[in-house]
Amino acid sequence: MATKYERAKKKGGGYYTGVYYYESKTRPRLHGHPDRCFVISYKVDGKKRWEKIGWESEGYTPQIATEIRAKRIRALRHGEEVKTSRELRAEKRKTNRTLEEIKEAYFSSNKGQSIKGRKTDLNRWDKHLKPLVGAKRVSELSPFDIERIKKAMADKKPATIANALELLRRIINFGIKHGLCPSLKFTIELPQKDNEVTEYLTEDEARRLVEVLDSWPNQDVARMVKLAMLTGMRRGEIFKLKIEDVDFTQGLITLVDPKGGKTEHLPMSEPVRELLRDQIAWAKERYPETQFVFPGRGGGQRVDCSAVERIKEAAGLPKSFRPFHGLRHHFAVTLASSGNFTLDMIGELLTHKDTKVTRRYAKFLPEAKKKAAEEAARLISENVDSSSTGKVVTFKLR
């Protein structure tokens, strides 16, 4: 509907240039006349533009409107971009997108396209986050929403909940970084998880495993497990291993794009050398075209190996023992407890990027452990002796 604009009149006569108003039929009357909304008009690139300034009841006057208009015109003259309040509002909406929109932007960004866990993350979003917060904007998000997510996932392990919330946080952080939303007014607290496991095999279990492997009908799979056992290589590294990555002359195995991203080299021991030679021969015979040492169906890269589960069963290993990663732990623990390797060397062989991870094997170092225990005992008994006159220390040493 067309609202009639009146030119704003000056008290002394004449008009305010480019300042207009229209009167409201619904707002409460003011000073005996209808409330007035001031509007200014100016030209942008030769086109006339109207901009609402505000209501008289809100304190706006023709003078204020004139000032704003002057500011606009000055800015335009200097080539600055001039935004109307409507545009500013639209812009604000743009910088406060829904989480669904931000998630979309995140996953279609260059970075989002290439993260390796993309599929997993998308699944987390669809399953745990989208139903509860997908339609929300970051500005509307409250700690209560986080609680709701946690509640909905109550039957899951803390690690899973943490993974989902972490993704939510990552998406929000992306939105903030790219101006798609304001920053979050509170922090998302992730549940604490205490799930560190260090598993290893007893001598007996290791022996049984080797026996089963030796007699396993499918030696392809058996060799794969043996390789894990002898080198502590990760499952993925074994799957990805190409024939060209095995250098028999130098005695080196090249790990391309491993967990840390940087190519690594592993020395090849004699049993490993033999094993790989057999395996490569097998692979070439089975799939003449394959590039992989342990090819999957059709000679492509193997993606999985459920046979190891049955090997584990056949060897009577504990249910909780994880075939590949468990062997990696076993490798590290065996090395550590032999006392012949430093933690640094073990970390090197496992291609750890950070000693923090290797350090968990410290407890298996017999020498260091013994020394530490003796040192502790010495300190404590000294303390007991020196304070035996006092009455603070009441425990007895055996």
Partner DNA sequence: CGCTTGTCTAGGTCAACGTC
Partner DNA sequence: GACGTTGACCTAGACAAGCG
Return the residue of 45, 81, 196, 203 that touches DNA, per CB under 7 A.
Answer: 196
Considering Cα of 294, then 299, then 300, then 304, what sign does the dihedral take? Answer: negative
Rounded to the nearest 5°, which phi and psi values hold at 152? Answer: -65, -25
Question: Long-range contacts made by residues 102-110, C-beta under 8 angstroms, separation at least 24?
Answer: 102/138, 102/171, 102/172, 102/174, 102/175, 102/180, 102/181, 103/129, 103/130, 103/134, 103/171, 105/174, 105/175, 105/178, 105/180, 106/170, 106/171, 106/174, 106/175, 109/174, 109/178
State which residue, 155 or 204, has the beta carbon closest to DNA.
155
> Which of positions 37-96 make contact with DNA (CB under 7 A)?
none
Distance (Å) of CA 273 to CA 1, 231, 249, 387? 86, 11, 10, 61
Q: How far apart are CA 314 and CA 169, in angstroms?
A: 44
Residue 279 interacts with DNA (CB under 7 A): yes or no: no
Number of residues that bind DNA (CB under 7 A): 66
State the binding string over 238-257 for DNA (x if CB under 7 A, else -). -x-----------------x
Return the residue of 12, 14, 298, 390 that touches DNA, per CB under 7 A.
Answer: 298
Q: How far apart are CA 362 and CA 343, in angstroms?
A: 7
Return the residue of 24, 173, 291, 337 that touches DNA, per CB under 7 A.
Answer: 173
State which residue, 51 or 220, has the beta carbon closest to DNA.
220
Which residue reads 């279990």 in tokens?
205
Residue 296 interacts with DNA (CB under 7 A): yes or no: yes
State the binding string over 335-354 for DNA (x if CB under 7 A, else -). ----------------xxxx
Q: How far apart are CA 143 and CA 133, in angstroms?
A: 12
State which residue, 39 or 161, has the beta carbon closest to DNA.
161
Smallest gap, in angstroms, from Cβ of residue 323 to DNA?
Answer: 5
Smallest gap, in angstroms, from Cβ of residue 120 to DNA?
Answer: 4
State the binding string over 255-274 for DNA (x if CB under 7 A, else -). --xxxxx-------------
Q: How far apart are CA 338 and CA 349, in angstroms?
A: 15
Return the residue of 140, 244, 309, 374 that touches DNA, per CB under 7 A.
Answer: 309
Smallest gap, in angstroms, from Cβ of residue 222 to DNA?
Answer: 9
> Which of positions 222-241 make contact with DNA (CB under 7 A)?
234-237, 239
State which residue, 221 or 276, has the beta carbon closest to DNA.
221
The CA-CA-CA angle for residues 40, 46, 49, to 5°, reads: 25
Span from 30-38, 97-105, 166-174, 384-392 in contact with DNA (CB under 7 A): 166-174
State the binding string over 102-131 for DNA (x if CB under 7 A, else -). ---------x---xxx-xxx-xx--xx---
State which residue, 97 or 302, has the beta carbon closest to DNA.
302
DSSP element (H, E) containing 347: helix 343-349
Cβ neighbours of residue 261 closer than 8 Å, sequence gap 6 or more:
none
Span from 143-151, 192-200, 202-210, 379-387 in contact with DNA (CB under 7 A): 192-200
Question: Long-range contacts made by residues 125-130, C-beta under 8 angstroms, separation at least 24?
Answer: 125/167, 125/171, 128/152, 128/153, 128/164, 129/99, 129/103, 129/164, 129/167, 129/168, 130/100, 130/103
Residue 206 CB: number of other CB atoms within 10 A? Answer: 17
Smallest gap, in angstroms, from Cβ of residue 65 to DNA?
Answer: 45
Return the residue of 182, 325, 368, 369 that touches DNA, per CB under 7 A.
Answer: 325
- Coil, strand or helix: which one is 36? strand
Binding site for DNA (CB under 7 A): 111, 115-117, 119-121, 123-124, 127-128, 156-160, 163, 166, 169-170, 173, 187, 190, 193, 195-197, 217-218, 220-221, 234-237, 239, 257-261, 296-298, 300, 302-307, 309-310, 319-320, 322-326, 328, 351-354, 357
